[in-house]
Amino acid sequence: MNISMNFISGLMHIDKYLILILHQYGILTYVILFLIIFLETGLVVTPFLPGDSMLFAAGALAGLGSMNISTLLVVGYFAALLGDISNYYIGRKIGSNILRKQQVLFIKKEYLKKAQVFYKKHGSSTIILARFVPILRTFAPFVAGISQMSYLKFIPYNMVGDGLWVSLFLGGGYFAGNLSFIKDHFSFALITIIIVSLLPGITLFFKENKKREPNENDIPSTEI
C-alpha cells in the first residue's frame, strides 16, 4: 500500500522531482530522461514508468528556460525509438515461449492479450496508435515481434509513432510552460495531463468489459 501511495505521490510531484534532478545532476538529467523513456517500452516489465508526464514536465521546464527543447526532442525520440526496437526483438526472440507459459513473472498476460487483440484489429497501425495508450504502448512492439512483423515494415511505423508522441507531449509542455496560469499551477496542469493520457487506456478497458457482458438475447430461455 505504501509503495502504491509513494508511486502516486511521485507522479503527482514529478515536476518538483525533475527540477531537483536538474539542479543536482545538470546535463545528466537528459541521460536520466533517456533511460526512463527507453525502459518504459524497452523492457516488457516496466509499463508503469511515467513517459507521458515526464515528457510534458520536461517540455514545460524547457518553456521556462531551464532545459533545451531541441536536446529534449532528440533524447526523447531516440529513447522511444530504441526502446521499441529492443522490445520488438525481445518479442521476436522469446515472445512465443512467454505466450505458452501460464504465468510469467512481472508480465500481466491480460495486458499482453489486449495488445494482441488490438494488433489483430488495427494491424501495422497499432505501432502508431498504441504509442498514445499507456501500458498498451509497452506491449505493442512486443506483440509485433511475436507476430513476426517484418523489421522493414516495423521501423517506419515506429519512427512515425515515436515522432508524433514525443513532439506532442514535449510541445504541449513547452507551450504550457510559457503560459502564466500554468506557471502558477504547474502541479495541477501536470495531474491533468496524466489523467488525459490515461483516458484512452481507461476507455479501452471499459469497452472490453462491456463486450464481455452477456446480452439478453444470448441468455438461454428457461420457459417450459
More confident residue, 85 or 5: 85
CA distance 30 to 17: 14
Interval 69-78 mean pLDDT:
96
The count of domains in the chain is 1
Domain range enclosing 51? 2-207
Residue 216 forms part of a structural domain: no
For the chain, the residue count is 224
Residue 217 forms part of a structural domain: no
Residue 87 forms part of a structural domain: yes
CB-based contacts of 129: which residues, under 8 Å, 6+ apart? 118, 122, 161
What the block records as the C-alpha cell of 223 is 420457459
pLDDT at 131 > cutoff 60 = yes
Interval 82-87 mean pLDDT:
94
Residue 100 forms part of a structural domain: yes
Residue 216: pLDDT band by 50, 70, 90 thresholds?
A: very low
CB-based contacts of 36: which residues, under 8 Å, 6+ apart? 49, 50, 51, 54, 79
Residue 192: pLDDT band by 50, 70, 90 thresholds?
A: low
Q: Say how many C-beta atoms besides its own lie within 10 A of residue 191's C-beta.
A: 17
More confident residue, 111 or 145: 145
Residue 204: pLDDT band by 50, 70, 90 thresholds?
A: low
pLDDT at 30 > cutoff 90 = yes
**Greatest mean pLDDT range, 93-97, 126-130, 163-167, 193-197:** 163-167
Residue 214 forms part of a structural domain: no
Residue 155 forms part of a structural domain: yes
Mean pLDDT of the chain: 78
Q: What is the DSSP string of 161-177?
A: HHHHHHHHHHHHHHHHH
CB burial of 97-127 (b: ≥16 within 10 Å; e: otherwise) equals ebeeeeeeeebeeebbebbbebbeeeeeebb
Interval 71-96 mean pLDDT:
92
What the block records as the C-alpha cell of 214 is 452477456
Residue 73 forms part of a structural domain: yes
Of 2-16, 74-88, 124-138, 153-167, which range is least confident? Answer: 2-16
More confident residue, 209 or 75: 75
CA distance 88 to 156: 13
Contact present, 72 and 58 (Cβ < 8 Å): yes
pLDDT of 95-107, one tens digit each? 777 766 656 655 6
Residue 169 forms part of a structural domain: yes
DSSP summary character for residue 65 = T
Q: Say how many C-beta atoms besides its own lie within 10 A of residue 195's C-beta.
A: 11
